């Protein structure tokens, strides 16, 4: 850790830049909010308008203005310039965390096996300390093996994990996932049946986010002073829903001692294809080439019409497995809406929040 001073450029775009040096209010001179009751990131000092360091909205806005203020010039930039920009974005974020007194104990590439995550992980294969893959239990095994083989070839450890035994996809669909907390509002995490778009948040949390939290806990010993940086491949142009959402929240998300960064935030599909064409050593996943998604999470929340037939054409064994789940669910006789007995009933498009990056 270096005794790095807060970046002077911060003051050019952030009126609350002085919070990085601690509160300078006359009421609490130089105590770094020691007597401020508002300790949560983003809240203001009791005596002035200084914000407590770590405000995700503020940090994301700083990065957005400094790195993405040239968005109108993005199409004219070369692939090499876009690569340099993405790498500089990570470097600057690491510098900011260092300047805020946080030690980064791990840089983890989120590797689903799709084209976007493969491109991201290839760009940063010399930067990451680990790769992470959430084995959802409802995906294509060929993709999982592709991720394992690729990480081994790149010489980086892969942290792969399954959902908890009492919260697997099958347990959720069969209506057997009981709430753990005695204060839970409902006795079940999910009442049973195949999920639609409205249940995506619940299934994403159980099948993926809980494993990312476990990875964070593996690497972080001191939650106050240590951070783990997760590099994700979410892109703003992937879908209309994601375009709206990512423009609102920006490329950075803070979750306790975890920092999530979408390092290829503004890359287009053409950018991804150009990179993969120019970099001959960038590996390819046959599943992604055929299905145009990683296939590592077939939860069905955002399955588009005809998706099961597409899966059947390339992976008949996977389609048969999904149909077996439909049959088992019908035989269980749960008191649930009839349409939830069918996988992919939502039919409004692919997952737009992380399932098939």
pTM (global) more than 0.95:
no
DSSP structural state of residue 279: -
Hey, which residues does 254 pair with through a beta bridge?
259
Q: Is residue 27 part of a domain?
A: no
pLDDT in tens, 173-218: 999 998 877 787 778 889 999 999 989 999 999 999 999 999 999 9
Domain of residue 240, residue span = 102-341
Give the position of tokens 């993709």: 143
Hey, which residues does 131 pair with through a beta bridge?
109, 158
- Taking residue 321's Cβ as centre, other Cβ atoms within 10 Å add up to 14
Q: Is residue 34 part of a domain?
A: no
pLDDT in tens, 12-52: 333 333 333 344 444 444 444 444 433 344 444 444 444 44
Structural domain count, the chain: 1
CATH of the domain at 137: 3.40.50.620
Q: Is residue 116 part of a domain?
A: yes
Comparing C-alpha atoms, which of 142, 143, 139, 108 is closest to residue 218?
Answer: 108
Terminal C-alpha separation, the chain: 33
CB-side neighbour CA atoms (13 Å) of 187: 3
Q: Is residue 126 part of a domain?
A: yes
Q: Is residue 68 part of a domain?
A: no
pLDDT in tens, 44-83: 444 444 444 444 445 555 555 555 544 556 667 888 988 9
């Amino acid at each position: 850790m270096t005794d790095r001073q807060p970046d002077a450029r911060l003051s050019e775009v952030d009126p609350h830049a002085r919070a990085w040096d601690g509160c300078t209010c006359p009421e609490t001179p130089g105590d770094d909010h020691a007597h401020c009751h508002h300790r949560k990131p983003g809240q203001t000092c009791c005596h002035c308008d200084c914000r407590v360091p770590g405000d995700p909205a503020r940090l994301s806005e700083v990065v957005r203005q400094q790195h993405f203020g040239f968005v109108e010039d993005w199409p004219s930039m070369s692939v090499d310039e876009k690569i340099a920009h993405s790498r500089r974005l990570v470097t600057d974020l690491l510098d900011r965390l260092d300047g805020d007194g946080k030690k980064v104990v791990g840089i983890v590439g989120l590797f689903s096996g799709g084209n976007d995550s493969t491109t991201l992980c290839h760009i940063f294969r010399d930067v990451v300390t680990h790769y992470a893959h959430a084995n959802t239990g409802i995906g294509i095994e060929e993709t999982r093996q592709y991720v394992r083989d690729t990480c081994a070839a790149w010489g980086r450890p892969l942290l792969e994990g399954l959902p908890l035994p009492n919260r697997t996809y099958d347990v959720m669909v069969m209506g057997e996932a009981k709430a753990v907390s005695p204060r839970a509002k409902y006795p079940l995490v999910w009442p049973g049946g195949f999920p639609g778009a409205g249940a995506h948040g619940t299934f994403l949390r159980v099948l993926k986010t809980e494993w990312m939290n476990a990875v964070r806990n593996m690497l972080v010993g001191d939650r106050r002073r240590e951070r783990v940086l997760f590099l994700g491949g979410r892109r703003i142009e992937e879908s209309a829903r994601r375009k709206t959402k990512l423009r609102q929240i920006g490329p950075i998300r803070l979750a306790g001692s975890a920092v999530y960064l979408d390092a290829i935030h503004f890359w287009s599909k053409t950018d991804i294809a150009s990179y993969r064409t120019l970099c001959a050593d960038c590996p390819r996943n046959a599943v992604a080439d055929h299905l145009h998604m990683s296939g590592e999470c077939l939860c069905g929340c955002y399955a588009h019409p005809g998706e099961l037939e597409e899966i059947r054409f390339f992976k008949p064994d996977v389609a048969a497995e999904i149909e077996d789940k439909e049959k088992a669910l019908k035989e269980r006789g749960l008191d649930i809406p009839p349409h939830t007995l069918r996988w992919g009933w939502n039919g409004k498009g692919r997952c737009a929040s992380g399932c098939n990056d």
